[in-house]
Amino acid sequence: MSEPKAPAADQTLRILSLLARARGPVQAGMIAAQLELPRSTVYQLLATLQDHGFVMHLPEEKRYGLGIAAVELSSAYERQEPLARLGRPLLAALVDRVRESGHLAVPTGSDVLYVIEERAPGAPHLVTDVDVRLPMHMTASGRAILAALPRAQVRALYPNAQAFAHRSSSPDGIDRYSKLRTVLDDTVTRGFALERGSVTEGFSSVAAPVLDHRGWPVAAIAITFPDAAFGEDGYAGIAAEVRQSTELLSTRIHGRARG
């Protein structure tokens, strides 16, 4: 194997690749050991990556994980090509089955960006139009993505109360991490994400994540419907249809279905 032409760049990319493969934040010593690099070099490169937002540091755990800038690069790739091309026919088929509007969103920082909207015949225009960004914690799509992330990654996205965009009209009033954690734990237990009136009064959404080959959430698919259309007993049936679509999309982007 030939020597890299730019050793620092090579080492930086190897660190980012290692963090991308990991299921959660990693200690600097483990990074140095796995990549066979001096600890001093690893710390210097991690500090630079942290300055630019590509790495986050969790001081209480003495670990490092991917930062928001790295996540935004990933979501930019996904929304430019594979997810939009592969997801559109799957979303159209889903909307045709359930007869309610649907959308596909990707994470960008602590927001979700809507990249596909498929409106059911006769359905009203929704806030979740293409290219609209909304806070992740407010939306079913965002909650599906957050619930599939490691806890440390979620905590890094929401380090304090200022990280929450608050809407006084939001009935769930998620304005601090403890409330968000309860919602995400309920999402995991329930098996799908749920949002009721937080985005648009009188409308609810259910969502499930799209996972890549590492089991990492790269997007979410949601169905939005008037509250009067389904009782709470009907949410699980809609969610099963959504999960069928997300699992198929996960497989098509060389991911895997969620176990």
In this structure, what token pair is assigned to residue 142? 């965002």
Residue 170 above 90 pLDDT? no
Query: Tens digits of per-residue pLDDT, 240-255?
Result: 999 999 999 998 877 5
How many residues are recorded in the chain?
A: 259
Q: Are 221 and 104 in contact (CB under 8 A)?
A: yes
227: its two tokens: 């509250």
More confident residue, 94 or 129: 94
**Structure tokens that stand for 95 in this block:** 């909307």
Please give the pLDDT value at position 2. Answer: 56
Order across the sheet with 217-226: list the strands: 133-135, 111-118, 101-108, 217-226, 203-211, 193-196
Q: Which two tokens stand for residue 191?
A: 């098996």
Please tell me the predicted confidence (pLDDT) of residue 169. 45
Q: Is 71-252 a CATH 3.30.930.10 domain? A: no
- CATH 1.10.10.10 domain locations along the chain: 7-66
Q: What is the pLDDT of residues 44-75, one digit of tens each?
A: 999 999 888 889 888 878 899 888 777 666 65
**Predicted confidence band at 229 (pLDDT cuts at 50, 70, 90)?**
confident
More confident of the two residues 109 and 165 = 109
User: What is the rounded distance in angstroms from the CA atom of residue 32 to the CA atom of residue 236?
Assistant: 46
156, 64 contact by CB (below 8 A):
no
- CA-CA distance, 215 to 256, in Å (whole number)? 7
Question: Between 7-21 and 68-80, two packed helices, what is the crossing angle to 10 degrees?
Answer: 80
Distance in angstroms (rounded) separating the CA atoms of residues 73 and 57:
19
pLDDT at 13 over 80: yes
For residues 142-171, give the mean pLDDT: 81
Pull the structure tokens for residue 14: 């190897």
Q: Considering only CA atoms, which of 211, 229, 13 is closest in space to residue 107?
A: 211
Nearest CA-CA partner of 147 in 185, 202, 98: 185
Residues of the chain with CATH 3.30.450.40: 71-252
Q: How far is C-alpha 181 from the chain's CA centre? A: 15
| pLDDT for 42 | 94
Fold annotation for 7-66: Arc Repressor Mutant, subunit A (1.10.10)
Q: How far apart are CA 144 and CA 198, in angstroms?
A: 15
